[in-house]
Amino acid sequence: MPEISIKAEEIFRIGGWPVTNAVLLSTIALIVLASVALFLRKKLSLVPGKLQGIFELALEELLSLMDSVLGDRHLSEKYLPLIGTIFLFIVTSNWLGLLPLGAFMLGHGEHSFPLFRSPASDLNFTIALAIISVFAVNLLGSVAIGVGRHFSKFFTLKNPIFSFVGILELLSEFIKIISFSFRLFGNVFAGEVLLMIVGFLVPQIIPLPFLFLEIFVGFIQAFIFSMLTLVFLGMAVREVEH
């Protein structure tokens, strides 16, 4: 049975930068998404075919969901690239991690490890993604309502109570990063361990139900991550009057 490691395994180095099996699969996910995007771009037409119609329907449903949070179609279309990219990248990397790529092993015996590993099962990946999400929310909030107004909720000298609440708001931004990263990492890593153990003990038909479960979990985790980003973004770009 391959070694179960929380840390992603290093495969090779480019200069002084280590490339792990999680980084390798995330790069493949990026290439897959870019290739599909370029292919679909060439196939776009004013009269949509079946495939384009399916994508347009999914896009309209996503915009309607964003409308329910942001309350404005213009804002939904404006921030769709961020939310859509986060969702597609996470769900693609999660699903690629479920392919039988683990058959490609490196090492020997108990110290063997897979050549490809789901990116979200590496805490470095989820922390980086959470930082990008929280940073984008604050950046877009600053652009939408102004830098001064946006950061006044963190730093204010109106009175001691508002100053204390501002400190709590600032701490909550770091808590968001921890919550984002560990939620995604915990669910994906646990799923990989479950599939590895079940596949080792009963490698025939038994793992199939768990595989379908992890396909669903991979989708749900991508959806939750992107929707939480959307909710925080909606709070940041609209100035709430009390």
- Predicted pLDDT at 2: 59
Both structure tokens of 43: 């196939």
**What is 68-128 written as a DSSP string?**
HHHS-HHHHHHHHHHHHHHHHHHHHHHHHTTSGGGGSEESSGGG-EES---GGGSHHHHHH
CB 230 within 8 A of CB 83: yes
Q: How many CA atoms lie within 13 A of 138 on its CB side?
A: 17
CA 242 to chain CA centroid, Å, is: 33
What is the enclosing helix (H) or strand (E) of 20? Answer: strand 17-20
Backbone angle region of 49, left / alpha / beta, with phi > 0 → left and psi within -120 to 50 → alpha: beta
- Predicted pLDDT at 102: 54
Locate the domains of the chain by residue range: 10-237
Long-range CB pairs of 80-83, under 8 A, 24+ apart, other chains included: 82/136, 82/140, 82/229, 82/233, 83/226, 83/229, 83/230, 83/233
CB 217 within 8 A of CB 187: yes
- Predicted pLDDT at 145: 86
Q: What distances in angstroms separate CA 21 from CA 8, 11, 101, 119, 124, one per listed residue?
A: 6, 6, 11, 8, 12
This prediction has a pTM of 0.84
Task: Return the ∠ at Cα 110 (arms to 108 and 115), rounded to 5°.
Answer: 55
- Predicted pLDDT at 92: 92
- Predicted pLDDT at 241: 44
Task: Return the ∠ at Cα 183 (arms to 178 and 184), rounded to 5°.
Answer: 110
The closest of 85, 20, 58, 123 to 226, measured between CA atoms, is: 85
pLDDT in tens, the chain (242 residues): 556 677 888 888 888 888 888 888 899 999 999 998 888 888 777 777 777 788 888 888 889 999 988 888 898 999 999 999 999 999 999 898 887 655 566 666 566 777 788 888 888 899 999 999 999 999 998 898 888 887 878 887 777 777 887 788 888 889 999 999 999 898 888 887 777 777 667 666 666 777 788 888 889 999 999 999 999 998 888 755 44
